[in-house]
Amino acid sequence: MSTLDAPLLPEGRKRCSFWAFGFWMSVWSLIIVWGLIGAYFVLRYGLNQTNMDDYFAFGVWIVVDLAVIALGAGAFFTGFLTYIIGKKELKDIINAAVIIGFICYSGAILMLSVDIGQPIRGWFGFWHANVHSMLTEVMFCITTYLSVLTIEFLPLIFENRKLDEVPFLHHFAHNLHEIMFIFAGVGTFLSFFHQGSLGGMYGVLYARPFAFRTGFLIWPWTFFLFVLSAAATGPCFTMLVVWITQKVSGKKLVPPNVFNLLGKISGSLLAIYMVLKIADTLYWALVTSPKMGLTFWEYYREGPYGFWMVIAELGIGGVLPAIILLIPKARQSEFWLISASILASFGVTMNRFVFVVVSLAIPVLPFEPFASYLPTWQEWAISAAILGYGGIIYSLAYRYLPVFPKEVQLYAEK
Amino acid sequence: MNLDRRGFIKFLVGGAVGVVFSPVPWKLMDDVAIWTQNWPWVPNPPKGENSFRNTVSPFGYRGSGLSVRLVDEKRAITLKGAEGNPLNRGGLGPVDVSALQYHYHKSIRVKGPMLLKNGKHEAVSWDEAMNLLASKLKELRDQGAGEKVAMINGAQPGTMTDLMKRFMTAYGSPNYLSMPCAYDTEELIVRNMFGADGTLGYDLENADYVISFGCGLLEGWGSHRSLLAYKKWYEESDPYPTVIVQVDTNASTTSSHARRWVAVAPGTEGALALGLAHVIVKEELYNKSFVSSRTFGFDDGRDAQGRSFKGFRDVVLHDYTPEAVSHITGVPAMQIVDLAREFALAKKPLALAGKGKGNMPGMLGEFMAIHSLNALVGSVNRSGGLGPVPAPPLTAWPGVALDGAAERALNKERIDGAGTRYPLATSLLNRFSEVVAEEETSPVELLMVYRANPAYFAPSGKAFKEAMRKIPFVVSFSSYWDETTELAHLVLPEHSFMERWEDGTTPAGVPFPVYVLGNPVFAPMFDTKQTGDVILQTAKTLGGSVASSFKWDDYESLLKFRVRGIYEKQKGLIGEPGALEGGKGKGFAGPDKLWEELTAYGCWFDPEDAVGSGSTDKFRFYAAGLRTRLDQAGRHEEGQDSHGKNEPVYVAQFNEVHIPGDPEIYPLLLMPEDLAYVYEGEVPSAPYLTKVWPNTLLKGKYSVVQINPATAEDLHLREGDLVLMESDRGGAEVLVHLFHGVRPGVVAMAEGFGHTAFDGYIKDKGSNTRDLTVVNADPLSGLPQWWGTRVNLTKA
Amino acid sequence: MNTAHGKGGIKYGMVIDLDKCIGCGACVTACVAENNNTILQDESNKLKSITWLRLYKFDNGKPYPETEICYLPRPCMHCDHHTPCVSVCPATATDYNPEDGIVSQIYTRCIGCRYCVAACPYHARYFNWFDAVWPEGTEECLNPEVSPRMRGCAEKCTFCHHRLMAAKNKAYVEGRREIKEEEYQPACVEVCPTRAITFGNLNNPEHKVAHLKESPYAFRLLERLGTQPKVYYMTQREWVYRKSDNWLDSEWPRLGEGKKEAAKSGGSH
Ligand SMILES: Nc1nc2c(c(=O)[nH]1)N[C@H]1C(S)=C(S)[C@@H](COP(=O)(O)OP(=O)(O)OC[C@H]3O[C@@H](n4cnc5c(=O)[nH]c(N)nc54)[C@H](O)[C@@H]3O)O[C@H]1N2
Ligand SMILES: Nc1nc2c(c(=O)[nH]1)N[C@H]1C(S)=C(S)[C@@H](COP(=O)(O)OP(=O)(O)OC[C@H]3O[C@@H](n4cnc5c(=O)[nH]c(N)nc54)[C@H](O)[C@@H]3O)O[C@H]1N2
Ligand code: SF4
Ligand code: SF4
Ligand code: SF4
Ligand code: SF4
Ligand code: SF4
Ligand SMILES: [Mo]
């Protein structure tokens, strides 16, 4: 069976018919179109199209940004493990990790350009950079890291059957592979800082008792906790996506031992993270916050943002997956491995939500009221568009590029 | 082949790199960024030379001096207080600060004379418009039906008000009405208890113990002078030098800033005053020398006409024991005794009478009680006390020439029954509305409305609107498309306050004579006229005796004629910076010089005639004048005390006001609330003011009413509930705010919302209290009262 | 850098006497007029409308008839220590001026990220959610000294910085280096009918604010956070003072102790 685009498909790999693929793509496109409509409203009429206000300066977009950047961390961390630590078996999944990372980071930047009130001036952040601002550094690091991801992505693209026929690209890709460890290193360094500074962004808000954390030197503890949580949950998300790819394509793409290894590493990191996170929360609740006159329970007294969030984030989305992933038998079982990945991804998303939205919901002035926030359709649409965007890039990559080195071999084994 | 391809790639890559490192993209980015900084739709006010010009604010009758900041003498930018004005001394209230918006807000201004033709207002020429008015007036006059012409005037005391009254007299109609306000009651008090004319002045600055019986001292009562006094009272020192006690039903700004808040049952302030008097008399704490030498009617006796009367002493000792008063007011008897002792033993005690801002007439009995209290402690006509303030020495008006037609019409009874059915009242807008609304065919053929918006703000709003629909021809002189003007048949728009002459005499409560003169800062923006000129010219057109009563060429020369009086007296001084410190007047070089200075600084005042400096006239505990008026009208029952004894008393007394409506159906009492940052007069609150309003006042399109949490519990209501508030007159959907400061059983609601005219900044925001209020008459004076209306709240 | 300007120098600040303030709102309207704040048709949505000087109203929550209300005008506090909004702004669009202690805002540089809005605990920062609009015709009375803002950028009280500029120019022309107290007074201060607001150089003993801020009745909002506001408040009403910060049940601060609190947390970082 050969389809219209057969000459473009990677050698020896089975792909669905061009029409089936076309249909699959149109579903994602619809989501994007909805997002584009939302974006038009926002750019044309301004941010009054959202339910953000002077209380909720940040809304669902920033939550999604922080979440995808955390979940995209699979790229830098897997790269780190593969090229720096030298876990060669991870080469079987690194491509997917890189693609997911690329999607998450480019998506985040696209969304930010709608989020800021003056998109056209966005670059002022680089031009008139303020070294004291965690956000400055986030901007620098994320953009730089995106170019690193692009470089990491390029050789894979050039391995496309047609492009590979171009000798220059062939050699270019080959040489890039040779020096990939350098980019992995740079990526790791950058990621460390921007993941950290994303946490720092909130930790340094020393006038916002709910978010403020003391820290080490100039870094609030959130700096390190964000790095750790991203490193721990990023790979989980990579596994989750690859697993979904396997289910959808009905093929084995990655040897189980890879999942097992990633799961083990994530589990250990997640465990360490939870210990530190809980310690941090206790210190904040018992020392930092009371110093500012607010006790732990006051934060959860009013509105929809109750104590249940703590349970959801730390319990269901943290301790539980960590335990699962630390039990070798559980890791063997696909069900438990994937459930744990889902829970961990949920947990980290919850964590970002709490810092972005709940921090702002809690009044600091005693005579200010508590407020809550629900996004408008425009906000949902643009958030969903990131999903659509990811779906399309990822599908294209999977169809036309040799994303999974072991795909053919695993197929033969069957 | 290979080479070509490589070359091609090189070209691509090289090109890309080249572009990135060329200045092109950066230049482009910079340009678009600059574009975002100069969006064409963001206004860019042109810079220019700054200059300042003084004038006077017409809003709120406070005579506040304005210093207008001009750019290139073309555009007014901001307003601040005029330093030399003794009433505001550089300070300014929120309404005045926002006043420029009334001048510039195009969409609410009337841009020229308008005539209602088949349901639509169409532009007409001034000649056509004024001839139409004159011919209608002439027609009625020739029919000998002058009384069918009525006028409602809301302008502050000053030349325009005098001119309007004079016009109605010369024309020959008894039906001149004013917008009701506390001044109606004060007038009766000044004449009958202080035996003088003019206004009542309070020397607040020098008082050291002030009991305010419901005055919104900090919500807009009197002039800004009250606030300057307040500033003095609260100069940094511990404790504050002056004791303020606020007697009020609900918590207010004043009650919160007062040393003590005495919470009384609605409408019982007068009883409390008499309770204090009882203790002071009983314990002989009153100022005996003053009472014996400077008052009349403390003890039983006979008046000049030989009528015997019961003295103040007997009345209070007999009827107003702390227990009795405690029963009426709900104030513990012990607190009444303490309060009385503190008040009597203070060096400069002073009691204030008035409700809220003074938008409502007071109850005569209550005012009498409060001022009797002042007399007891000798605070009448002394510094730190109160007393009548002589009018500024403006040239007196020449007599009005009356022809037969005028004479006949003037002798007819007023439509509102003021002076006859209600002997003590001079104008009753509420009765007027009701009578006209009830009649088959309107007794009024032509109604003129000046500087008032009764269709929105008449106490019985619903009745007035009905009345208005019945009246065949309504003329509005308003500068704005307000509710009244929208219903008017003919609109003769006046200049904005920045374009017209505007004078005023001593505002409420000011302790010395004041004359303020506002001048045209700008030439008119639209095709409008000074209403004074419209009236003068109409009089001329009417001819005969009417014309002969209005000899002045134009309004400006009329003002000059009146100001000349000040020059001839050579008294007082111009409100220029430093004048207050200067003290004595230096006299005026010439009438023109005086006029020049008056227009430059906007204010004349005379500290030499301040309260305490002049009048030695006796204070009358027993108001013989009132008795005579009532006797003449053959109406003794008004004089009876609340216990219905046959023997009439004409001394202060407490009359329980019967509030109409069935308590079963309407268990709650709606009390209108006055706030400094809401304006509810001739014009609505300006857009700037909407920035000040808290969410506990207005939310979206709903007014927020305040009730006590206990009340809410009884009604099973929660914070923020949307409820339907109903009275006998109508209903409104409002939001509920729980506030401990409101007395259980009471619903507090701010006035000034629910406009149906103007534009999106104020139109359809909240509800108008006056569409719900039920007006009833003060038992003694017949003046309208609407401080309480029975309502109920049901969840919507 | 705080340390750089920590030793005296000029630091403009305010003292607002909450016992003198009668909540009339004149200062609010004066500020709106002076600084061209945009006006929405629905100003009752306080979270989307712009009011550099916000007038808060709150009460002591006591039952009738012990209930009291208080009005509190809230300009920008011009925080003096590690200025929360300044330290977070990625584009240096808001800045702390060591020469006068005024926290400025550069509208045309602001990228609209709103990080500063999130950082300010006083809700003194406002974002332009809408395009600039004024009631028809009233654009005529916009203040030429203050440029109207475009949609999508943040703004806040500037202590009427343009008035300082004007005063400086005047002094320069007259060959003076010092600016007299009365030469630089913000619009809100100038208009207040009860003169509840005092403004001047907190470090200049000749200026009223310098001794007012030393009153045992003077305090600042959220003092223990360490933002070190240059706007002080005064009251003799205990309950009002207690509304100025968050307290634990164990704490029961009394007037006057505000200062010590500040001394404690001020250096704490
Ligand atoms: N000179 C110089 N300055 C820099 C930089 C530099 O390289 N050189 N780097 C810049 C960069 S990249 C960054 S990320 C920033 C980070 O620098 P900042 O974000 O300024 O980091 P810190 O200074 O640690 O911020 C934490 C602040 O919180 C406050 N704080 C600490 N502990 C407490 C406490 O217990 N209670 C309260 N209320 N507040 C507390 C202190 O003001 C402390 O300054 O620094 C910037 N500043
Ligand atoms: N020990 C230590 N390490 C830290 C931090 C810390 O506070 N202490 N902070 C962490 C954080 S939050 C961040 S953001 C990163 C920032 O880390 P870096 O980006 O390294 O920032 P710096 O170390 O402040 O400055 C980097 C180098 O730039 C040089 N430099 C200064 N000005 C200029 C200039 O104008 N041009 C050029 N070309 N070079 C210049 C400095 O001398 C320094 O050598 O550091 C992180 N690491
Ligand atoms: S103007 Fe003065 S009194 Fe009025 S609210 Fe502002 S500070 Fe308070
Ligand atoms: S009050 Fe808010 S806006 Fe003003 S300086 Fe402090 S942090 Fe910045
Ligand atoms: S922002 Fe903070 S760190 Fe940066 S200069 Fe100002 S005070 Fe120092
Ligand atoms: S919104 Fe503007 S001022 Fe605020 S932080 Fe972002 S760039 Fe800076
Ligand atoms: S100082 Fe100026 S900008 Fe700040 S609140 Fe007062 S008037 Fe507004
Ligand atoms: Mo940093």
| ipTM of the complex model | 0.87
Contact: B687, C137; criterion CB under 8 Å: no
Q: What is the pLDDT of residues B283-335, one digit of tens each?
A: 999 999 999 999 999 999 998 888 889 999 999 999 999 999 999 999 999 99
- Cα B394 to Cα B513: distance, rounded to the nearest angstrom: 11
Strands (E) in C6-107, as ranges, are 12-17, 54-59, 69-74, 94-96, 103-105
Interface test with C, best of A365, A370, A379 (most C CBs within 10 A): A365
Nearest to B75 among C29, C131, C141 (CB): C141
Closest of B772, B759, B636 to residue B703, by C-alpha = B772
Residue A247's pLDDT is what? 93
Count of residues in chain A: 414
Distances (CA, A) of B669 to B248, B260, B303, B661, B774: 15, 24, 41, 10, 11
Residue predicted with more confidence, B793 or B581: B793
Contact: A123, B29; criterion CB under 8 Å: yes
Taking residue B704's Cβ as centre, other Cβ atoms within 10 Å add up to 23
Helix or strand (DSSP H, E) at B166: helix B159-171
Residue predicted with more confidence, A201 or C3: A201
Say what the pTM is. Answer: 0.88
Closest of C259, C171, C188, C253 to residue C220, by C-alpha = C259
Smallest CA–CA separation between A368 and chain C, in Å?
Answer: 9
Question: Quick check: C257 pLDDT over 80?
Answer: no
Closest of C228, C231, C227 to residue C212, by C-alpha = C231
Encoding tokens for residue B440? 């088959």
Nearest to C90 among A129, A205, A294 (CB): A129
Distances (CA, A) of B276 to B221, B279, B334: 23, 5, 11
Which ligand 2 atom is at minimum distance from the Cα of A217? 7
Whether A77 contacts A348, CB under 8 Å? no
C 145-164 residues inside an 8 A Cβ radius of A = 150-154
Of the pLDDT bands very low, low, confident and very high (cuts 50, 70, 90), residue C1 is very low
Which ligand 3 atom is at minimum distance from the Cα of C53? 6
- Cα B516 to Cα B605: distance, rounded to the nearest angstrom: 8
Q: Look up tokens 């790791």; give the residue.
A: A188
Closest residue in chain C to residue B98, using alpha carbons only? C29
Whether B774 contacts B660, CB under 8 Å? yes
Closest residue by Cα to atom 7, ligand 3, is: C21
Of the pLDDT bands very low, low, confident and very high (cuts 50, 70, 90), residue B1 is very low
Nearest to B2 among A121, A123, A167 (CB): A167
Residue B587's pLDDT is what? 83
Smallest CA–CA separation between B256 and chain A, in Å?
Answer: 17
Question: Quick check: B236 pLDDT over 70?
Answer: no
What SS3 state is found at B406? helix
Alpha carbon of A203 to ligand 5 centroid (Å): 16
Question: Helices (DSSP H) in A116-166: which residue ranges?
Answer: 124-127, 134-158, 161-164
Tell me if chain A has a CB within 8 Å of the CB of C75. Answer: no
Burial class (CB in 10 A: 0-12, 13-18, 19+), B133: buried
Average pLDDT over residues B498-517: 95
Question: Quick check: B233 pLDDT over 90?
Answer: no
Does the Cβ of C262 fall within 6 Å of ligand 1?
no
Interface test with A, best of C43, C78, C114 (most A CBs within 10 A): C114
Q: Look up tokens 């792909």; give the residue.
A: A15
Q: Which residues contact A32 (CB under 8 A, 6 or more apart)?
A: A385, A388, A389, A392
Does the Cβ of A244 fall within 6 Å of ligand 2?
no
Taking residue B522's Cβ as centre, other Cβ atoms within 10 Å add up to 17
Contact: B33, A166; criterion CB under 8 Å: no
Q: Which residues pair with C218 in a beta bridge?
A: C234
- Cα A405 to Cα A88: distance, rounded to the nearest angstrom: 12
Distances (CA, A) of B638 to B515, B623, B642: 37, 13, 10
What SS3 state is found at A271? helix
Q: Quick one: what percent of chain B has pLDDT higher than 70?
A: 95
Of the pLDDT bands very low, low, confident and very high (cuts 50, 70, 90), residue C260 is very low
The alpha carbon dihedral of B390, B393, B399, B405 has a sign of: negative
DSSP state of B60: G
**Which of chain A's residues have a Cβ under 8 Å away from the Cβ of C113?**
115-117, 125, 135
Contact: C72, A366; criterion CB under 8 Å: no
Ion ligand 8: residue ranges with CB closer than 5 A: A 137
Alpha carbon of C157 to ligand 4 centroid (Å): 9
What SS3 state is found at B59? helix
Alpha carbon of C95 to ligand 5 centroid (Å): 9
Question: Quick check: C218 pLDDT over 70?
Answer: yes
Ligand nearest to the CA of C96: 5
Buried-exposed string B729-754: b where 16+ CB fall within 10 A, e elsewhere = bebbebbbbbbbbbbbbbbbbbbbbb
Tens-binned pLDDT, residue by residue, of chain A (414 aa)? 457 788 888 887 888 889 999 999 999 999 999 999 999 999 999 999 999 999 999 999 999 999 999 999 999 999 999 988 989 999 999 999 999 999 999 999 999 999 999 998 888 888 889 988 999 988 888 898 998 899 889 989 998 888 888 888 888 888 888 888 888 888 888 888 889 999 999 999 999 999 999 999 889 999 999 999 999 999 999 999 999 999 999 889 999 899 999 999 999 999 999 999 999 999 999 999 999 999 999 899 878 899 999 999 999 999 999 999 999 999 999 999 999 999 999 999 999 999 999 999 999 999 998 888 999 999 999 999 999 999 999 999 999 999 999 888 888 876
Closest of B254, B274, B256, B377 to residue B326, by C-alpha = B274
Q: Which residues pair with C153 in a beta bridge?
A: none
Encoding tokens for residue A326? 């630390």
Whether C78 contacts C103, CB under 8 Å? yes
Mean pLDDT, chain C, rounded, equals 91
Tell me if chain A has a CB within 8 Å of the CB of B35. Answer: yes
Encoding tokens for residue B244? 């303020």
Tell me if chain C has a CB within 8 Å of the CB of B105. Answer: yes
Which ligand 1 atom is at minimum distance from the Cα of C87? 20
- Cα A150 to Cα A173: distance, rounded to the nearest angstrom: 12
Angle of helix B364-376 relative to helix B269-282, nearest 10 degrees, comes to 30
Q: How many CB pairs under 8 A join A and B?
A: 19
Tell me: cis bond preceding B511? Omega within 30 of 0 counts. Answer: no
Nearest to A121 among B2, B9, B33 (CB): B33
Question: Quick check: C258 pLDDT over 70?
Answer: no
Taking residue B289's Cβ as centre, other Cβ atoms within 10 Å add up to 8
What SS3 state is found at C254? coil
Burial class (CB in 10 A: 0-12, 13-18, 19+), B67: buried
Whether B547 contacts B540, CB under 8 Å? yes
Alpha carbon of A252 to ligand 3 centroid (Å): 73
Q: Which residues pair with B76 in a beta bridge?
A: B70
Whether A39 contacts A384, CB under 8 Å? no
Q: Which residues pair with B502 in a beta bridge?
A: B518
- Cα A295 to Cα A273: distance, rounded to the nearest angstrom: 24
Tell me if chain C has a CB within 8 Å of the CB of B242. Answer: no
Strands of C12-17's sheet, edge to edge? C197-201, C12-17, C231-234, C218-219
Of the pLDDT bands very low, low, confident and very high (cuts 50, 70, 90), residue B647 is low
Whether A356 contacts A63, CB under 8 Å? yes
- Cα B718 to Cα B712: distance, rounded to the nearest angstrom: 7
Helix or strand (DSSP H, E) at B676: none
Which ligand 6 atom is at minimum distance from the Cα of C111? 7
Of the pLDDT bands very low, low, confident and very high (cuts 50, 70, 90), residue C4 is very low
Q: What is the pLDDT of residues B449-479, one digit of tens each?
A: 999 999 999 998 889 999 999 999 999 999 9
Contact: C187, B78; criterion CB under 8 Å: yes
Of the pLDDT bands very low, low, confident and very high (cuts 50, 70, 90), residue C101 is very high
Q: Which residues pair with C233 in a beta bridge?
A: C16, C219
Tell me if chain C has a CB within 8 Å of the CB of B182. Answer: no
Whether B172 contacts B407, CB under 8 Å? yes
Task: Give the DSSP letter string of A371-407.
Answer: ------HHHHHHHHHHHHHHHHHHHHHHHHS---TTH
Nearest to C64 among B76, B105, B743 (CB): B743
Interface test with B, best of A162, A166, A368 (most B CBs within 10 A): A166
Of A259-268, B446-455, C49-58, C257-266, the range with the lowest mean pLDDT is C257-266
Closest residue by Cα to atom 5, ligand 4, is: C78
Rounded-to-5 percentages of helix, strand, coil across chain A: 75, 0, 25
Tell me if chain A has a CB within 8 Å of the CB of C113. Answer: yes
The alpha carbon dihedral of C236, C240, C245, C251 has a sign of: positive
* All chains having 3 or more CB pairs closer than 8 angstroms to chain A: B, C
Encoding tokens for residue A410? 């695993």
- Report phi then psi at A200, rounded to 5: -55, -40
**Which of chain A's residues have a Cβ under 8 Å away from the Cβ of C84?**
205-207
Of the pLDDT bands very low, low, confident and very high (cuts 50, 70, 90), residue B638 is low
Q: Which residues contact A289 (CB under 8 A, 6 or more apart)?
A: A209, A210, A295, A296, A299
